[in-house]
Amino acid sequence: MPFNRRWRRPTFSEIKVTDSFWSTRQQTLVRVTLPTQFSQLESTGRLENFRRVIDGEHGKFSGFWFNDSDVYKWLEAVAYGLAIEDSPELRSKADIAIDLIARTQRPDGYLNTYIQYEKPDMAWKNLSMMHEMYCGGHLLEAAAAWHDALGDNRLLNVAVKFADHVMSIFGPDRRLGYCGHEEFEYGLIRLARATGDTKYREFARWQVDTRGSRPSPFEPELTDEVALSMHRGQVGQCLRDGAYNGEYLQDHAPVREHTSVVGHAVRAMYLYMAATDLADGEKDEAMESALRRCWDSLTKRRMYVTAGIGPSGDNEGFTNDFDLPNGTAYAETCAAIGLIFWGQLLLEQTGESDFADIVERSLYNGTLSGISISGDHYFYDNPLESRGQHERTPWFPCACCPPNIARLLGTIGQLAVGIGDDTIAIHLPIGMTVQTPLATIEVSGNYPWESEVTIAVTPRTLEPFGLAIRIPDWADELGLELEVADEPADYQDGYAVYHRVWSPGDVIKVDFGTEPKWIEANPAILDDLGRVALSYGPMIYCAESTDNGFLPQRAAVLTEQEVAIAYDASLLGGVTTITVPAIVDQDAFPDGLYADLGTITLQERDLKFIPYYAWNNRGKSSMQVWLRRA
Ligand SMILES: [Zn+2]
pLDDT at 91 over 90: yes
Angle between helices 285-301 and 265-278 (to 10 degrees): 150
In this predicted structure, what is the pLDDT of residue 59? 67
C-alpha atoms less than 13 angstroms from C-alpha of 158 in its C-beta half-sphere: 27
Dump the DSSP string for 138-158. Answer: HHHHHHHHHHHHH---HHHHH
pTM for the model stands at 0.97
For residue 503, how many C-alpha atoms fall within 13 Å in the half-sphere facing its CB? 4
Q: Residue 58: what pLDDT?
A: 64
**pLDDT, tens digit, for every residue of 262-309?**
999 999 999 999 999 999 999 999 999 999 999 999 999 999 999 999
Distance 129 CA to ligand 1 centre (A): 16
Q: How far from the centroid of its chain's Cα atoms is residue 30's Cα?
A: 19
Computed from CA positions of residues 392, 394, 398, 403, in that sequence, does the dihedral angle turn out positive or negative? positive
Counting every residue, how long is the chain? 630
Q: 411 CA distance to ligand 1 centroid (A)?
A: 18
Q: Give residue 335 CA to ligand 1 midpoint distance, Å.
A: 7
Buried-state track 27-55, b at ≥16 Cβ within 10 A, e below 16: ebbbbebbbbbbebbeebbbbbbbebbee
Q: How far is the CA of 282 from the centre of ligand 1 (A)?
A: 32
Give the distance, in angstroms, between the CA of residue 8 and the centroid of all CA atoms in the same chain.
19
Q: What is the 220 CA–ligand 1 centroid distance (Å)? A: 28
Tell me the one-letter amino acid at 543.
A
Distance 27 CA to ligand 1 centre (A): 23
Torsion of CA 453, 458, 461, 465, to 10 degrees: 10
**440 C-alpha vs ligand 1 centroid, how far in Å?**
37
What pLDDT is stored for residue 1 in this prediction?
77
Q: Which CATH architecture has domain 420-511?
A: Sandwich (2.60)
CA-based radius of gyration for the chain = 25
Instruction: Fill in the DSSP letter of residue 303.
Output: B
Helix, strand, coil tally for the chain in percent (to 5): 40, 20, 40
Q: 592 forms bridges with which residues in the sheet?
A: none
What CATH number was assigned to the domain covering residues 15-416? 1.50.10
φ, ψ of residue 272 to 5 degrees: the values are: -70, -25
Identify the CA nearest to 180 among candidates 124, 225, 229, 139: 124
> How does pLDDT run across 131-144, given as a tens digit for each residue?
999 999 999 999 99
CA 399 – ligand 1 centroid, Å: 7
Confidence category of residue 234, pLDDT binned at 50, 70, 90: confident
Looking at residues 19-43, what average pLDDT do you find?
A: 97
Residue 56: its pLDDT value, please? 83
Distance CA 39, CA 495 (A): 44
User: In this structure, which residues have their CB less than 5 angstroms from ion ligand 1?
Assistant: 332, 334, 400-401
Indicate the Cα dihedral angle 145, 148, 154, 155, nearest 10°.
30
Q: What percent of the chain has pLDDT over 90?
A: 94
Prior bond of 220 cis (ω within 30°): no
Domains 15-416 and 420-511 share a fold: no
Cα(391) to centroid(ligand 1), Å: 16
Say how far apart CA 551 and CA 621 lie, in whole Å.
9
In whole angstroms, what is the distance from residue 600 CA to residue 602 CA? 6
Domain boundaries defined on the chain: 15-416, 420-511, 516-629
